[in-house]
Amino acid sequence: MQALGIDIGGSGIKGAPVNLQTGELLADRVRIKTPKGAKPEPIAEVVAEIVRSFKWNGRIGVGFPAPIKNGVAMMAANVSQKWVGTNANELFSSATGCPCKTGNDADVAGMAEMAFGAGKGQQGTVVMLTLGTGIGSAIYYNGHLVPNTEFGHLQMDGMDAEHRASDAARQREEMSWKKYAKRLNKYLNEMEKLFWPDLFIIGGGISKQHEKFLPLLALQTRVVPAQFQNEAGIVGAALFSQSD
């Protein structure tokens, strides 16, 4: 069985067909830059373009950077405010002509890691954090998701943690890996005090460079990079297309 997974991010929109039994991508992913302003219609057009590029006709799962309840975006931090109250399932389904299911990007990325990657078989509490334009969070307990956690918006140094410890913050402030690791450690330490997790999984584009900063962290909890690295979002979105 296969489904098309689409990951919508602050800088790019990526998609590929995925084998749902193994989590493998069945073709090279297609990536298109997120349209400026990240408004609903232009994003839906890009989603439709990705669908056409694979001549896809079937189920589609979409990971979106906002809390999503029954297909509706509840808040917008790194995309247009026009998303708030928009039913993403309806918008993407009508733009593509295929049944689309939308979930929070970090929640679905976590789904891929729990099924096939760094969290496979892990009991207890797993906290997955995606470090990109923002910080996405997913919490799994004994393999079950608590959806729509928004721990990128935890307060740190008087502002949202994602403005201090995301990959975008690292690039914007031109932080050295040492400085960034210290910043991230402070954030993870807060998370650790609140959740006492058994495992942290670090995903997002930055996870490709995990060797540069994960060894510099000093935490009680084991920290591992996402096995699917930046593709967890695509694989997880495809898996999410099948959920009830």
Q: Give the C-alpha separation, 208 to 20, whole Å.
A: 23
Say if residues 188 and 131 touch (Cβ distance below 8 Å). Answer: no
The stretch near ligand BGC (CB under 6 A) out of 103-111, 119-127, 168-176, 218-226 is 103-111
162 binds ligand BGC (CB under 6 A): yes
Which of these, 50, 134, 33, 128, lies nearest to 95 by C-alpha position? 50
- Least separation in angstroms between CB 52 and ligand BGC: 25
Q: Which member of 7, 113, 150, 167 binds ligand BGC (CB under 6 A)?
A: 150
Site residue total, ligand BGC (CB under 6 A): 15
Q: How far is CA 212 from CA 161, 209, 215, 223, in A?
A: 21, 6, 7, 13
Which of these, 91, 110, 8, lies nearest to 50 by C-alpha position? 8
203 binds ligand BGC (CB under 6 A): no
Q: Which member of 15, 17, 67, 119 binds ligand BGC (CB under 6 A)?
A: 67
Q: Give the C-alpha separation, 29 to 27, whole Å.
A: 6
65 binds ligand BGC (CB under 6 A): yes
Q: Which member of 136, 197, 225, 236 binds ligand BGC (CB under 6 A)?
A: 136
Q: Which residues bind ligand BGC (CB under 6 A)?
A: 65-67, 77-78, 104-106, 130, 132, 134, 136, 150, 152, 162
